[in-house]
Amino acid sequence: MQKLIFSILLTLCIPTAYAHKVVGISDGDTMTLLVEGKPLKIRLANIDAPERKQAFGQKSKESLSDICWGTDATYEAQTVDRYGRTVAVVFCNDVEANTEQVRRGMAWVYPKYNKDSMLPAIEADARDKKIGLWSDREPVAPWEFRRQLRTR
C-alpha cells in the first residue's frame, strides 16, 4: 500500500508540459500561445531579434513563423518582463525556437539577459558562416537600434 501511495505522490510531483497552439507571431522573438482558451504573449528568452523596421526584421518574423506557427508548443517560463509578457524557452515540434532563431542567424544572443551558455558559440558559428543577418555588412544589434531610435 505504501508503494502505491508513494507512486501516486511521485506522479503528482512530476511537472507535465502541456502543448498549446501557437496562434500569433509578432516578430522574431515574440509569439502568442492559446493557453486554456486565452492568449498568452511569450517573449523568447536569451535572444533579441531584429525590430520590425530593422534590416532582417521581417525575415526573422518569417523564420519564427516557419518554426512555430500553428504548431502545438510547450514552454519553460523564466520570468515576466516589464510589458507583462512571459519570458520563456519555447519548443515547437521538438525544436527549441530560441536556439533555432540564433542558429538561423535570425536573432542575437541577448547578453544582458542570456542564461544559456551554449548560445554564444551557436551565434559565433552563424556569424562565421554569414548566415541570415550576419550576411549584412554591418548588422546592428536590436538593443543598439532601439537606443538609436530613442536618441533621435
CB 116 within 8 A of CB 46: yes
E runs forming strands in 54-140 = 72-80, 86-92, 95-96, 108-109
CB 73 within 8 A of CB 65: no
Question: What residues act catalytically?
Answer: 43, 51, 85
Distances (CA, A) of 149 to 51, 53, 94, 116, 152: 11, 11, 37, 28, 5
- Residue from 119, 143, 139, 142 nearest 131 by CA: 139
Q: What share of the chain is helix, strand, coil (3-state, %, to 5)?
A: 35, 30, 35
The rounded distance, in Å, linking the Cα atoms of 75 and 72 is 10
